[in-house]
Structure 1
Amino acid sequence: MRKLIMWNLITLDGYFEGEKNWDLSFHGLVWGKELEELSLIQLRSADYLVFGATTYQGMADYWTSAPEDEGEVAKFMNSLPKLVCSTTLQSAKWNKTTITKDAVKEVTKLKNEGTGNMFVFGSGILSASLMKANLFDEYRICITPIFLGKGKKLFQEGIPNIPLKLTETNSLSSGAVILRYTPETN
């Protein structure tokens, strides 16, 4: 059975995006060799990427024309199968993309069909839906050492009470801390 894993960078005050869609400028504070190596480890374990519509569009725009220095990460991002969960998106330009209107149903089906990892990047609204359906097997959160003060919070009101067990911490030289949690029920 595939594992569904949330991977997000958030600020110390809980924002995963600035005030505007795709405002991820704070990522530059922690991106470097350590985080790139972790990204490659995660991508090598993945056999599916899952996105909400806004994150998908931003990722597709970036990775389909990624700079040359993104080499191996870009290769994985562009070659892995992708699921975009959207009730409005009619077409997908990024290769190996499937669109679904019913995220919970499709993610449940995909989890039962494979053995690799499925990663959800960004996608706050989608993540809340998947949390409500208790579909995440793991949460990997990179805390970026900055107070943003405003933007879009990753964890919104209305998500269920999910007791978590800390399984790993990893401090990076940039000052970021990566926390890995699994639901207590897993």
Structure 2
Amino acid sequence: MRKLILWNVITLDGFFEGEKNWDLSFHGLIWGKELEEFSLTQLRSADMLVFGATTYIGMADYWTKATDEEGEVAKFMNELPKLVCSKTLQTASWKNSTITKDAVREVTKLKQEGNGNLFVFGSGILSSSLMKANLFDEYRICIAPIFLGKGTKLFKEGIPNQTLKCIETKPLSTGGVVLRYLPHINS
């Protein structure tokens, strides 16, 4: 059975982007060799990447224009199969992309069909929907050491109450911390 894993970089005050779409400038604070290796380890274990429409459009724009500096990460991002969860997108032109209008149903089905990992990057609205359906098997968060003050929060009001079990904390030399949690569904 595949595992569904949320991966995001957030600020210490909980934002996964700044005031404008794709304001990810704080990612530069924590990016380095350690996080690159962690990212590659994740991508090597991935069967598929899962995105909401806004994140898909931004990722496709960025990774299809990636330079040699992004190297192996860019190769994985462009080659891996991608599922776009959107009720409005009609086309998905990024290589190996499929659109679904029913994210919960499709992700539930995909989890039953293999042994690799499905990763959700970014995609705050989609993540909330998948959290409400209790579909995540793991949460991986990198905390950037900054208070942004304004922006888009990753975790919105209305997500289910869950107790989490911390299975790893990995401090980075850049000042960031990677946290890995398993969910426990509260009764």
Residue 26 of structure 1 and its aligned partner are, at CA, apart by 0.4
TM-score, normalised relative to structure 1? 0.98
In structure 2, stretches of 5+ residues that fail to align are none
Residue 95 of structure 1 and its aligned partner are, at CA, apart by 0.6
Cα distance in structure 2, aligned partners of 1:66 and 1:162: 37
Instruction: Give the aligned partner of residue 147 of structure 1.
Output: 147
Instruction: Give the aligned partner of residue 24 of structure 2.
Output: 24
Aligned-partner SS, 2:105: helix
RMSD value, Cα: 0.6
- 1:131-175 CA-partner distances (Å, limit 9, x unpaired): 000000000000000000000000000000011100000000000
Cα distance in structure 2, aligned partners of 1:106 and 1:99: 10
- 1:99-122 CA-partner distances (Å, limit 9, x unpaired): 001000000010000100000000
Quote the sequence identity (%).
79
- 1:32-53 CA-partner distances (Å, limit 9, x unpaired): 1110000000000001000000
TM-score, normalised relative to structure 2? 0.98
Instruction: Give the aligned partner of residue 114 of structure 1.
Output: 114
Aligned-partner SS, 2:112: helix
Residue 62 of structure 1 and its aligned partner are, at CA, apart by 0.5
Instruction: Give the aligned partner of residue 90 of structure 1.
Output: 90
Cα distance in structure 1, aligned partners of 2:97 and 2:184: 32
Residue 184 of structure 1 and its aligned partner are, at CA, apart by 2.2
Which runs of at least 4 in structure 1 moved beyond 2 Å after TM superposition?
none
Q: How many residues align?
A: 185
2:84 maps to a residue whose letter is V
Cα distance in structure 2, aligned partners of 1:103 and 1:21: 22
Aligned residue runs from structure 1 range 32-51, under 5 A? 32-51=32-51
Cα distance in structure 2, aligned partners of 1:162 and 1:125: 18
Aligned residue runs from structure 1 range 37-76, under 5 A? 37-76=37-76
Aligned-partner SS, 1:27: helix
1:54 maps to a residue whose letter is T
2:82 maps to a residue whose letter is K
